[in-house]
Structure 1
Amino acid sequence: MGAATASQTPPLVNALWVLLLGSLLGFELIGKVPPTLHTPLMSGANAISGITMLAALTAIIKADGSTPLLVLGSVSLGFALFNVIGGFLVTDRMLAMFSRKPARKENS
């Protein structure tokens, strides 16, 4: 019996395993980052979320009538979009802390 006769795992089960393992790994890694590095980490997560958005779009396009895969891809796209927008807002606030404020003119 070759590999061709082995049963294949449905794509939804594979996607759920990737989601579960990625969530556990992310939780462990983020938990070990010192609080002073959380803001730069959020900025770096924007790039990863952008890649996640592309993967979610690919899952939606390749769903081929598979409603669970379509729903999972849509939810993933929504979460990744939320993360990108939040990351850009946090990065903007972080950069605003380092910008110079214009000098005030005093009326004497």
Structure 2
Amino acid sequence: MFDMLGMMGKMKEMQARMKDAQESLPSITETAEAGAGLVKATVNGRKQLIHLEIDPDLVKPEETEMLRDLIVAATNKALEAVETRVADHLKQATDGLLPNIPGMEGLFGK
């Protein structure tokens, strides 16, 4: 027999765990570099750029275009890396709460 009260309890627990997991996303960070370390970008689990390091040798007017490209490359690498960590973090927060429902496996990313 289907346990509706048990399922409702699990849903409330899952909501609470998801809320806690989402609130902790700023603490998940990833740093990536471009140009052999000349530019380093750090992003958080909310997909926000939170820190940027630029080698002083790149801060020259004639290097502006390359600097722009390296910043974009480093930031995109960091965002890609943090996306996987966020998906794992959210999946872990709700692991074991709901039965394996077909089609729900992609809910948290990968």
TM bin, normalised by shorter chain, reads 0.3 to 0.5
Higher helix share: 1
Higher strand share: 2
Structure whose alpha-carbon radius of gyration is higher: 1
TM-score, scaled to structure 1 = 0.36
TM-score, scaled to structure 2 = 0.36
